[in-house]
Amino acid sequence: MRSKLPDSKLSIFSVMSKLAAEYGALNLSQGFPDFDTDPALIQLVTEAMQAGHNQYAPLAGNLRLREKIAALVLELRGKYYNPESEITLTVGASEALYVAITAFVHRDDEVIVLKPAYDTYEPTILVQGGVPVPVQLEAPYTSINWDAVAAAITPKTRMLIINNPHNPSGMIFQKADLERLEALVHGTDILILSDEVYEHIVFDNQQHQSVASVPGLAERSLITASFGKTFHTTGWKTGYCLAPKALMHEFRKVHQSTVFCVHHPTQVALATYLEEPGHYLNLSAFYQRKRDVFIEAIKDSRFQVTPSAGTYFQMLDYSKITDEPAPEFAERLTKENGLASIPVSVFNVNGQDDQLLRFCFAKEEETLLKAAAILNAI
């Protein structure tokens, strides 16, 4: 058999969560909350089911939900996406990313990916016969080397993928980053795939900088979003894509032959839940408190911290403790110390090691304090 992805290994998220379960370790590896979603949202889904919303949704998604998304994006980003033609509900941001790449990347097209990168981008590019062009950023990943990105652009560049706020580093883009990006792609036909799943989790009074707010980028961008991150429902796999009409037209051709549509009662419930802005506007403060509890609790440990600026991930530098490669150290920490994390190196070019582990702090404070006690003892 000729594999389309000969070099693809089992996802690090599955590897580490399985190891955590096997060894009974505290699991701060795979990114998901250890607390439940709002009972009011669960009630709304139940009511939507009882009201009979149990058959296929429209292929682009429930119209009322698309209208609510349009209003939210207009309010926060200052850009109107037409619910009829520019918004599509997807099976998590994952499907949106897959469809966006599939719809636009042709054989031999180059796609620039900033590393460390979330692990679905490159396999999807490869499956389409495209060529991932990785640009390795420098640890601790607090900024982007746009000169390196500029150097990676060629006449074959079809797409550039960005992720802001950034998983695994917690970096966020500044306005200047988007200005630089706009200047780089101006006059080209390069598309931007902007993965903004953590858009509502930005700390220290900073603002999320969406490509939607920059006209020269919005006109060529597909933006992915996830209700899983925003409403603590990663298991519901509900997200969406925003794009200008002409791009969305092509996006929907692939979406309709991939999943056609998304779980219907969830969409009906989300449309009502989104009517209360507090449900997403309070998320940054909610997670900033968790970040701060975690950082404060490990301040006397031998791990070095650059506070995360967004997402629900905190990277820790363990170079003062050992020179073991990150995958080995993460494995040992899980097996011997009972705490699972993600080695950042797996997201880098050729596994380049930066002696960083990623910890998910979407956890009850009690869990974070238990994790801190383990880290303090190392």
Nearest distance from C-beta of residue 191 to ligand PMP, angstroms: 17
Distances (CA, A) of 377 to 293, 300, 331, 337, 355: 17, 10, 17, 9, 18
Nearest distance from C-beta of residue 99 to ligand PMP, angstroms: 12
Q: Kindly tell me the burial class for residue 292, based on how many C-beta atoms sit within 10 Å of its own C-beta (0-12, 13-18, 19 or more).
A: middle
CA distance 9 to 343: 15
Query: Is-contact 326 302, C-beta < 8 A?
Result: no
CA distance 66 to 83: 5
Residue 375 interface partner, choices ligand GLN, ligand PMP, none, CB cut-off 5-8 Å depending on type: none
Query: Is-contact 230 193, C-beta < 8 A?
Result: no
Nearest distance from C-beta of residue 366 to ligand GLN, angstroms: 21
**Closest listed residue to residue 294, CA positions, set 227, 376, 361:** 361
Alpha-carbon torsion angle 150, 152, 154, 158, nearest 10? -100
When the beta carbons of 195 and 353 are compared against ligand PMP, the nearer one is 195
Helix, strand, coil distribution of the chain in percent, nearest 5: 45, 15, 40
Binding site for ligand PMP (CB under 6 A): 31, 92-94, 118, 163, 167, 195, 197, 226, 228, 234, 237, 239
When the beta carbons of 68 and 237 are compared against ligand PMP, the nearer one is 237
DSSP 109-142: -EEEEEES--TTHHHHHHHTT-EEEEEEPPTT-S
Site string for ligand GLN, 31-50 (x = CB under 6 A): x-------------------
Residue showing the smallest CB distance to ligand GLN in the complex? 31
When the beta carbons of 31 and 132 are compared against ligand GLN, the nearer one is 31
- Residue 134 found at the interface with ligand GLN (CB under 6 A): no
- Residue 13 found at the interface with ligand GLN (CB under 6 A): yes
Residue 359 interface partner, choices ligand PMP, ligand GLN, none, CB cut-off 5-8 Å depending on type: none
Which single residue is written with the structure tokens 């596994």?
Answer: 351
The residue count for binding ligand GLN (CB under 6 A) is: 5
Query: Is-contact 223 243, C-beta < 8 A?
Result: yes
**Closest listed residue to residue 142, CA positions, set 171, 116, 110, 106:** 171
Q: Which of 15, 20, 27, 30 binds ligand GLN (CB under 6 A)?
A: 30
- Residue 124 found at the interface with ligand GLN (CB under 6 A): no
Residue 239 interface partner, choices ligand PMP, ligand GLN, none, CB cut-off 5-8 Å depending on type: ligand PMP
When the beta carbons of 240 and 303 are compared against ligand PMP, the nearer one is 240
Residue 319 interface partner, choices ligand PMP, ligand GLN, none, CB cut-off 5-8 Å depending on type: none
Binding site for ligand GLN (CB under 6 A): 11, 13, 30-31, 167
